Amino acid sequence: MSIPVPRNGIASQRIADNLRDAILRGEYSPGTRLRQEDIAEQFGASRLPVREALRILEADGLVTLVANTGAWISRLSLAECEEMYQIRERIEPLLLRYSMPQLTEDTIGRLHELRREMQAATDVEDFMRLDREFHLLSYTGATTALLGDSVLRLWNTTQHYRRAYTRLFRSEGDVAVHLEHHLLVHAIERADADDADRVLFGHIRRTRLELARHPELFE
């Protein structure tokens, strides 16, 4: 708008961060076109930093750019989403192995708390936020920056479809999720890496298989 937006920090980074949050909150759905000029006006900047911001988001896998044509919110096919989940199945247990030895009792207590809050959550957005915090918190012990980034990227690119899945299953009364979370925290508490690995793998795999049963989420 024309309100003088505070110009703190690098404009391109600021625009990218704001757009990323908006996309993850679900304010844009996959396939939505992003026009440079609109975004520029929205943030009170020129199109130049917007172009860099779109590049940043493309790197995150959230936006798809086509030369001389434009930018769209990335859309996954069911097959692509299954790929993402299969990668998650294989590398998130690895990340958890790095993280587990460094987790404090406080953190594990917080995991239990998040788990309980999730069971009580009625709103889809609340559940999404708690679920994300739960899993990412379980990874905070790891100092493996690159692996952590890879996992975060996978979470972000599949966020929209996870939301659709959640909407579907919370209405059906999905209990498996909570049981798996419970088992996961217990395995972490016992410092049983092999069991945690197995539970987490199964947790992601089951979600993938459930998603595959609902191709209509991908049109």
Partner DNA sequence: TATCCCCCGATTGAATCCAATTCAAGCCCG
Partner DNA sequence: CGGGCTTGAATTGGATTCAATCGGGGGATA
Measured from the Cβ of residue 23, the count of other Cβ atoms closer than 10 Å reads 23
Angle among Cα 170, 153, 132 to the nearest 5 degrees reads: 35
Chosen residue from 17, 52, 133, 192 binding a second copy by CB under 8 A: 52
Nearest Cα neighbor of 158 from 75, 95, 59 is: 75
The contact mask relative to DNA for 120-139 (x = CB under 7 A, - = no) is --------------------
* 10 binds DNA, rule: CB under 7 A: yes
Distance, CA of 79 to CA of 167 (rounded, Å): 20
Beta strand 33-34 with 63-66 is unpaired
Task: Select the span of 6-14, 39-47, 171-179, 181-189 touching a second copy (CB under 8 A).
Answer: 6-14
DSSP 162-177: HHHHHHHHHHHT--HH
* 59 binds DNA, rule: CB under 7 A: no
* 6 binds a second copy, rule: CB under 8 A: no
Measured from the Cβ of residue 216, the count of other Cβ atoms closer than 10 Å reads 9
3 state SS of 5? coil
* 48 binds DNA, rule: CB under 7 A: yes
* 69 binds DNA, rule: CB under 7 A: yes
Question: Of a second copy, DNA, none, which one sits near residue 173, judging by CB under 5 to 8 A according to partner kind?
Answer: none
The alpha carbon of 117 is separated from its chain's Cα centroid by a whole number of angstroms, namely: 19
* 152 binds a second copy, rule: CB under 8 A: no
Binding site for a second copy (CB under 8 A): 9-10, 13, 48, 51-52, 55-56, 58-59, 67-68, 79-80, 83-84, 86-87, 90-91, 94, 144-147, 150
Binding site for DNA (CB under 7 A): 10-12, 34-37, 44-49, 51-52, 65, 67-71
